Amino acid sequence: MNGCGGSEHQFSRRQILGSMAAGTAAGGFGSLLQHAAADELQQANDKQVLLIWLDGGMSQLESWDPKPGTHYGGPYRSIPTSLPGIHVSELMPQLAQRMDRLAVVRSMKTEDPNHSSGVPKILRGHPRDRGVVYPYFGAATAHLLGPTPSRLPPYVWVKPGNGGFISSHAGFLGPKYGALALGGGKPPQNLQRPAAISDELDELRHRLRERFNQRYAAGRRPQVSEAGSHVYDLAQTLMKNVDLFDVDTLPAVERDRYGRHELGQHTLLARRLLEAGVRFVQVTSYGWDTHGDNFNAHATRVPRVDQAVSALLDDLQDRGLMERILVVVMAEFGRTPRINGSVGRDHWPNAWSLAMAGCGIRPGVVLGETLADGTDVNSEAWDIGALFHTWYTALGINSQEAEFMNGTQPLPIAHDDMQPIPELLA
Amino acid sequence: MLTVVSAMASADENPLHRRINQLLPTTAAPADDATFLRRVFLDLAGRIPSVTEAKQFLNDTSPERRKQLIDRLLDSRDYPRRMQEAFHIMLLERRGDHQEWSRFLRDSFEQNRPWDEMVRLLLKPAADDESARGAAWFQTSRLVKEGAMADVDVPGLTRDVGRLLAGVDLGCAQCHDDLVISDYLQQDFQGLQMVFENVVVRTDVGFPAVGEKLLTAPRAFSSVFEQIPRQTAIRVPGAAEVALQTFAEGEEYTVPPDRKSKFPGEPKFSPLQQVAEHLTARENRLFAANLVNRVWFLMLGKGLVWPLDMHHSGNPSQHPQLHDLLGQEFTAHDFDLKWLLREIALTDVYQSDSTPSDPSVPVSVADLSEKRISAESLFWSVLIALEQLDPSDTERSLEQQLAESQPLQELQKQFLKVFANAPKEPELLFEPTVAAALFVMHDEQVLGLLDAESSPLPGRLSQLEDAAEVVQQASLQIYSRPATEVETAELVELLQTAAADQRSETISQLIWAMLASTEFCVNH
């Protein structure tokens, strides 16, 4: 449930962007002008996002912020990186060589130690509580930047398990901005046209449908008619790109480079989706909630992140895409320095790390530090709200002025008490 | 009592729909008969009319024909089914169904049970009334664990009681006074939640049922912002605080608990009973204001208060005078839902054209908005349009006809899956999805219904030689209106230029395109 406002809100993206472009409040122009201005702005913005989400919480101590030889340090060593003086866990040797392309924050300090509430809080950028349900990062970006000229769905979520259309991510923006989820990296259901419908018949039936829709739409407010046609357009765009969803067709050597595991193959799929023009791709890896046997679990899992993200960074660089694709690797929190009785680490929002690269981000930065035993932040602490400001800024969105419209209620896109972090911006 | 009687008297002389017309002069033109026909069928019968029903109405020249149709539909066997579907979606928000719950809803609408009585049964279910006991599903379906680590979502049930039955979403007041809405206080949430924390789901019976533990102490709480200890007794939205009643030890129960049978006991002081009585009391304005707002939304496509669960002083009704009138009259008519639906259906605004006089002007309270058609209504409508089901069959209802076809039941499951929202998501506005579009485009069973060799409508139309007749029949069958001249000309040309061996396929695609079009998929 969300307290979403009037029926106008669903198509407010265009109005907001239209008004942003013109530097004035929406409403002064005819709707046609707003549409044109919004489309131009959206097409002018070629920025895209890949969010790699390590659900359950990756341990910062076994990855970005190792504390070898200390009370809570655990069994793994740290290794030097391509940044002088900076070490990371030995579980990520490939990323260590690519640290000069990354920006890492080691002083994340957030509020919520629970998965059920922590995941949505972080994915929404934890804005000030106004009694409304904010969109997730993907839905928000889809709303703010719209689809790219590819017309592919702007927000695709690659995840293990079931797929579908996940409208709950959209919050008050309305289901239109939800995620197209590719469960197990597989394409959506009913994407294949049965052989009984020939190309000619298919063309005919859609032409007729559109003709009926045009006639129905004449003289009406555009919202309902646009929505009714939009989903069929999107369905047809997806069909034209059916090969995109099948990584099996790629050369074995490429698949090997990302790793023959779920995260590797899903990251490869994400790269293809981004290249094809999806605005925002989220790749989720589950199973990071290592309350028991933390060290063996991380020994298996962290190298997969290392392999997949390294292959991705190389590909983005080779293709000249680093300038316009923002990559973020994070979870809802880190893990406790204290090792529990089951040789596990528990939830730890008090001092954790995340990483980013690409579009608008200053490479080779390690921001902030934790105490020698890792129990708390020992520098300025950063909340997720400041990171959302930073990422929106990197994407060319003025995070302190742009607003969502929840019906008639304007809402800041990121926490109004926070700002972008200049050290992270190129 | 006197005021109620006089209100009734004036209502008879000047019925509510006339008073609404005076308060709400419409700017839009009246809807034509065909538009009204389709709309009122979808709203009151949950389906489109069959061709027979459409012709009967469109050929009727009586000035009373609209009124007569409204009354016919309210008395039809479709009405309780439609209301069961609509209130199931509204009250359960796709949490799943239960046959005892369906029976409660169906019986309630068959006998036109007053809304206050329905709500009292939702809040204080009557386990000994076989036809009504399923009302407990409103609570038991929410009092479940979702995942091993999750607690039973009592705050969720508390919030839903406020949202759905009083139109107030107190969700943000769980941990502190609402930061934005000054009317929504933490004590109101806590004073309601204490009642539901005390509820137990009964395991001693095989149907949905709840019991209550003894509630003897006020609720202690504090705001997360200021850790100042506070307490409250029971609080019901729209009503005053209700004091707790305690009894001497050993005398707390009318029927004591039984450990052996796991019967939880029947306390003399039932907090659920208190909530049921105080929420539905005639003097509780929120109670009637919420329901009339939701019925207005159901019929006109938008709430007078919007969002529907945001009744508070900072979010006033779009038309306070109209809203008050509706609430007062609904109360004076003993919360009679059928009466309320009838009065709204008789208004000028309900019977106006949904095409605005100026599309650039935002929807106002005096307009009828295009409305979402529920997955259930859309399913029945598609099958009626395709002549798979016959609503005029006097022997068998639509549901009985469906029960005879395994493939159609399978289709219904798929249909509801793609057209309904996810659990816990209110279904309000027209929000088409790509999943549904792909289903309509490619599902083998859907496409099978368009096969001229095996399906009645495409089969019948492809036998017609006169192309204009094909177009007219398709339009009446699917859109419940005659085809316009322009449409007829275009489609006749299409059919006449189609190769002979492509004609029946072309007719099938024409039917598909009409069913997939926005005109068919929304209630306008």
pLDDT tens-place string over residues B103-130: 999 999 999 999 999 999 999 999 999 9
Q: Find the mean pLDDT for residues B6-24.
A: 79
Q: CA–CA separation, B433 vs A400, rounded Å?
A: 32
The predicted pLDDT at position A25 comes to 29
Looking at the structure, tell me whether residues A275 and A200 fall in a common domain: no
Nearest-by-CA chain A residue for B443 = A190
- A26: which DSSP letter? T
Per DSSP bridges, beta strands A334-339 and A345-348 are antiparallel
- With a cut of 60, say whether residue B368 has pLDDT above it: yes
Chain B residues closer than 8 Å to A139 by CB: none
Chain B residues closer than 8 Å to A234 by CB: 434, 437
* Residue from A12, A128, A204, A242 to probe the interface with B (highest B Cβ count within 10 Å): A204
Chain B closest-CA separation from residue A31 CA (Å): 8
Q: CA–CA separation, B325 vs B22, rounded Å?
A: 12
* Residue from A180, A216, A237, A238 to probe the interface with B (highest B Cβ count within 10 Å): A216
Residues in A 192-211 with any Cβ partner in B closer than 8 A: 192-194, 196-197, 201, 204-206, 208-209, 211
Residue A393 to residues A64, A360, A401, B469: CA-CA distances in angstroms? 24, 8, 11, 61
Sequence-ordered list of residues with C-beta below 8 angstroms from that of B475, at least 6 positions apart, any chain: B481, B482, B483, B487, B514
The predicted pLDDT at position A183 comes to 87
Q: What angle do CA A178, A182, A183 make, to 5 degrees?
A: 115
Chain A closest-CA separation from residue B32 CA (Å): 15
Chain B residues closer than 8 Å to A196 by CB: 447
Residues in B 173-192 with any Cβ partner in A closer than 8 A: 178-181
Element (H, E) at A88: strand A87-89
Chain A residues closer than 8 Å to B431 by CB: 10, 167, 174-176, 227
Cβ of B443 under 8 Å from any chain A Cβ? yes
Q: Decide: A132 and A172 in contact? Cβ < 8 Å.
A: yes
Residue scoring higher pLDDT (B424 or B97): B97
The predicted pLDDT at position B509 comes to 97
Prior bond of A222 cis (ω within 30°): no
Place of tokens 């046959």: B99
The predicted pLDDT at position A20 comes to 28
Answer yes or no: do A204 and B422 touch at CB < 8 A.
no
Residue A66 token pair: 């190792």
Cβ of B369 under 8 Å from any chain A Cβ? yes
Beta-ladder partners of A179: A166
- With a cut of 50, say whether residue A9 has pLDDT above it: no
What's the N-to-C CA distance of chain A in angstroms? 39
- With a cut of 60, say whether residue B13 has pLDDT above it: yes
Element (H, E) at B288: helix B285-300
Answer yes or no: do A228 and B521 touch at CB < 8 A.
yes
Residue B465 token pair: 């030689």
Arithmetic mean of pLDDT over chain B = 94
Q: Decide: A57 and A302 in contact? Cβ < 8 Å.
A: no
The predicted pLDDT at position B10 comes to 53
Answer yes or no: do A224 and B518 touch at CB < 8 A.
yes
Sequence-ordered list of residues with C-beta below 8 angstroms from that of B114, at least 6 positions apart, any chain: B334, B335, B336, B337
Looking at the structure, tell me whether residues A77 and A157 fall in a common domain: yes
Tally of residues, chain B: 524
Residue type, B391: P
Q: Find the mean pLDDT for residues A361-375.
A: 97
| Domain boundary residue, one of A196, A223, A245 | A245
Chain A residues closer than 8 Å to B442 by CB: 190-194
Looking at the structure, tell me whether residues A169 and A227 fall in a common domain: no
Answer yes or no: do B513 and A212 touch at CB < 8 A.
yes
Handedness of CA B164, B165, B168, B174 (dihedral sign): negative
How does DSSP assign B8-60, residue by residue? HHHHHHS-HHHHHHHH----SPBPPHHHHHHHHHHHHHSSPPPHHHHHHHHT-
Closest CA to B97 of B413, B338, B380: B413
Diameter over CA atoms, chain B: 90
Q: Find the mean pLDDT for residues A30-51.
A: 60
- With a cut of 80, say whether residue B203 has pLDDT above it: yes
The predicted pLDDT at position B147 comes to 65
Answer yes or no: do B441 and A193 touch at CB < 8 A.
yes
Confidence of residue B12 (pLDDT cuts 50, 70, 90): low
Express each pLDDT in A77-121 by its tens digit. Answer: 999 999 999 999 999 999 999 999 999 999 999 988 887 778 899
- With a cut of 60, say whether residue B288 has pLDDT above it: yes
Looking at the structure, tell me whether residues A209 and A344 fall in a common domain: no
Q: CA–CA separation, A400 vs B49, rounded Å?
A: 53
Nearest-by-CA chain A residue for B523 = A224
Chain B residues closer than 8 Å to A235 by CB: 434, 437-438, 441
Nearest-by-CA chain A residue for B159 = A1
- Residue A167's domain comprises 47-183+246-424
Domain presence at residue A40: no
Q: Decide: A208 and B510 in contact? Cβ < 8 Å.
A: yes
- With a cut of 50, say whether residue B211 has pLDDT above it: yes
Cβ of A242 under 8 Å from any chain B Cβ? no
Cβ of A3 under 8 Å from any chain B Cβ? yes
Domain presence at residue A24: no
Confidence of residue B8 (pLDDT cuts 50, 70, 90): low
Residue scoring higher pLDDT (B135 or A228): B135
What's the N-to-C CA distance of chain B in angstroms? 41
Looking at the structure, tell me whether residues A206 and A272 fall in a common domain: no
Domain count, chain A: 2
Looking at the structure, tell me whether residues A267 and A306 fall in a common domain: yes
Looking at the structure, tell me whether residues A217 and A78 fall in a common domain: no
Answer yes or no: do B169 and A407 touch at CB < 8 A.
no
The predicted pLDDT at position B111 comes to 98
Chain A residues closer than 8 Å to B150 by CB: 116
Chain B closest-CA separation from residue A37 CA (Å): 18
Which segment, B115-124, B221-230, B433-442, is predicted with the most confidence on average? B115-124
Q: CA–CA separation, B200 vs B4, rounded Å?
A: 39
Cβ of B307 under 8 Å from any chain A Cβ? yes
For the beta carbon of residue B98, count every other beta carbon within 10 angstroms: 17
The predicted pLDDT at position B171 comes to 81
Residue type, A119: V
The predicted pLDDT at position A151 comes to 85
Looking at the structure, tell me whether residues A173 and A202 fall in a common domain: no
Domain presence at residue A356: yes
State CA A231 to chain mean position distance: 22
Looking at the structure, tell me whether residues A343 and A223 fall in a common domain: no
The predicted pLDDT at position A14 comes to 29
The predicted pLDDT at position A158 comes to 96
Per DSSP bridges, beta strands A87-89 and B253-255 are unpaired
- B224: which DSSP letter? S
Express each pLDDT in A375-391 by its tens digit. Answer: 999 999 999 999 999 99
Chain A residues closer than 8 Å to B355 by CB: 219-220
**Residue among A8, A228, A238 minimizing CB distance to B362:** A8
SS3 A425: strand
Express each pLDDT in A253-309 by its tens digit. Answer: 999 999 999 999 999 999 999 999 999 999 999 999 999 899 999 999 999 999 999
Share of chain B above pLDDT 70, in %: 97
Looking at the structure, tell me whether residues A241 and A231 fall in a common domain: yes
Cβ of B5 under 8 Å from any chain A Cβ? no
Cβ of B410 under 8 Å from any chain A Cβ? no
How does DSSP assign A186-228, residue by residue? PPPTT-SPPTTS-HHHHHHHHHHHHHHHHHHHTTS-HHHHHHH
SS3 B452: coil
Per DSSP bridges, beta strands A280-285 and A48-54 are parallel
The predicted pLDDT at position B294 comes to 98
Q: CA–CA separation, B227 vs B378, rounded Å?
A: 52
Chain A closest-CA separation from residue B413 CA (Å): 15
Q: CA–CA separation, A67 vs A389, rounded Å?
A: 29
Answer yes or no: do A167 and B426 touch at CB < 8 A.
no
Q: Find the mean pLDDT for residues A172-190.
A: 86
Confidence of residue A358 (pLDDT cuts 50, 70, 90): very high
Confidence of residue A21 (pLDDT cuts 50, 70, 90): very low
Give the gyration radius of chain A's Cα atoms.
22
| CATH number for the domain harbouring residue A268 | 3.40.720.10
Q: CA–CA separation, B365 vs B379, rounded Å?
A: 30
Chain A residues closer than 8 Å to B307 by CB: 3-5
Answer yes or no: do A131 and B180 touch at CB < 8 A.
yes
Residue scoring higher pLDDT (B150 or A315): A315
Q: CA–CA separation, B514 vs B509, rounded Å?
A: 9
Residues in A 40-69 with any Cβ partner in B closer than 8 A: none
- With a cut of 60, say whether residue B9 has pLDDT above it: no
* Residue from B305, B518, B519 to probe the interface with A (highest A Cβ count within 10 Å): B518
Q: CA–CA separation, B111 vs B100, rounded Å?
A: 16
The predicted pLDDT at position A4 comes to 24
Answer yes or no: do B522 and A224 touch at CB < 8 A.
yes
Answer yes or no: do B432 and A227 touch at CB < 8 A.
yes
Residues in A 66-125 with any Cβ partner in B closer than 8 A: 115-116
Which segment, A32-41, A115-124, B78-87, B308-317, is predicted with the most confidence on average? B78-87
Q: Find the mean pLDDT for residues B150-154.
A: 82
Cβ of B406 under 8 Å from any chain A Cβ? no
- With a cut of 80, say whether residue A407 has pLDDT above it: no
Residue B468 to residues B34, B421, B453: CA-CA distances in angstroms? 19, 39, 22
Q: CA–CA separation, B227 vs A66, rounded Å?
A: 38
Strands (E), B386-446: none
Answer yes or no: do A7 and B429 touch at CB < 8 A.
yes
State CA B245 to chain mean position distance: 37
Answer yes or no: do A188 and B435 touch at CB < 8 A.
yes
Q: CA–CA separation, A79 vs A302, rounded Å?
A: 14
Q: Find the mean pLDDT for residues B296-312.
A: 94
Q: CA–CA separation, B436 vs A234, rounded Å?
A: 11
Looking at the structure, tell me whether residues A348 and A295 fall in a common domain: yes
The predicted pLDDT at position A223 comes to 81
| Domain boundary residue, one of A226, A245, A264 | A245
- With a cut of 50, say whether residue A5 has pLDDT above it: no
Confidence of residue B148 (pLDDT cuts 50, 70, 90): low
The predicted pLDDT at position B230 comes to 95
Tally of residues, chain A: 426
Cβ of A240 under 8 Å from any chain B Cβ? no
Chain B residues closer than 8 Å to A228 by CB: 430, 432, 517-518, 521-522
Which segment, A43-47, B119-123, B427-431, is predicted with the most confidence on average? B119-123
Pairs of CB atoms within 8 A across A/B? 163
Residues in A 357-396 with any Cβ partner in B closer than 8 A: none
The predicted pLDDT at position B175 comes to 81
Chain A closest-CA separation from residue B238 CA (Å): 20
Arithmetic mean of pLDDT over chain A = 87
| Domain boundary residue, one of A225, A245, A265 | A245
Residue scoring higher pLDDT (B301 or B357): B301
Handedness of CA B245, B250, B256, B261 (dihedral sign): positive
Looking at the structure, tell me whether residues A334 and A266 fall in a common domain: yes
Q: CA–CA separation, A130 vs A33, rounded Å?
A: 32
